[in-house]
Amino acid sequence: MSALEPTKNIVRPADEGIYLNENRYREPKEVFKRIADVLRAHIGNGGGRSILDVGCATGEFLYYLQSQFPDATLFGMDVSNSMIEAARAQVPKCDFKVGSVLKAEDFATGSMDVLTCSGVLSIFDDQAVPLNNLVRCLRPGGHLVIVTLVNNEPVDVIMRYRDVRDGEPAWEAGWNFFSKKTFENILAKMNCKLQWNWTDFRMPFALPKREDPMRTWTISTAVDPHQVVNGAGQLIDDKILYIHKAA
């Protein structure tokens, strides 16, 4: 079986519709707090460190990071010009640029101490390209924290969806599940020494269902009182992948 072609650059209309029309800067997401906890365990207060958030959208996570790591130098990258403009307005002390996790030229080799990437990789049908770009951008001794949909079973799932309430729009991506084995196979083939570990992310409280069927909400199950789901019938299992690049 031949490998899937790398996914072309995707700007999802749903993303811009959500991020550009909501102001959630002062109410950080639970996953933001968890990422910050992971980083704090490895970089302390971030003094002298550079941190790049890839897929930063309108800068909500960076807004939170500047309060948690005031001594770090923050950078943000996103494919959407309009979201980068909004991010610059909200987080003026951060250096932003338009770029794609799929483009090697957007990631200078060994240029960052820390990279974060949350809710991005599940858009793409091939994980090798973005993972290689992220790791290559790390300086020796650097840290990478990824939050994405992960399957514990050795099965990869490519998913497309469309909201048909208003006709038959184009199919959208964004909810692909790749297995832990796939991620680890890609990391093991890289030409550098890496260590990594996984942490489950569990929503600690209930989320209501909203008008948009692809905005996640929670249901109670026998194993999780706050199981996250979406309107495509998927049980959403986010995991935090921490990667350390040897010095």
| Cα 133 from Cα 77, distance rounded (Å) | 13
Residue 222's pLDDT is 97
Chain CA centroid to CA 113, Å: 17
Burial 129-142 (b: 16+ CB within 10 A, else e): bbbbbbbbbbbeeb
Residue with tokens 């929670």: 218
pTM value is 0.91
DSSP category for residue 225: T
The CA radius of gyration of the chain, in Å to the nearest whole number, is 18
Strand ranges, E, within the chain = 50-54, 73-78, 95-98, 112-118, 138-151, 178-179, 194-200, 217-219, 227-229, 235-236, 238-245
- Cα–Cα distances (Å) from 222 to 125, 208, 226, in that order, read 32, 19, 10
Q: Mean pLDDT by 10-residue block, N- to C-terminus, for the chain (247 residues)?
A: 41 53 81 97 94 97 96 96 95 97 97 97 97 98 98 97 90 95 98 97 97 96 97 97 97
- Sketch out the chain's domains with CATH numbers: 27-209+237-245 (3.40.50.150)
The answer to whether 100 and 79 have CB atoms below 8 angstroms apart is yes
pLDDT at 8: 45
Tokens 């060994």 correspond to what residue?
Answer: 110
Joined tokens for residue 201: 């992310």
Phi, psi of 50 (to 5 degrees): -100, 135
Q: Distance between CA 201 and CA 237 in Å, rounded? A: 7
Structure tokens that stand for 177 in this block? 């599940």
Q: How much is the pLDDT for 151?
A: 97
What pLDDT score does 26 carry? 81
Q: H/E element holding 98?
A: strand 95-98
The pairing of beta strand 178-179 with beta strand 138-151: parallel
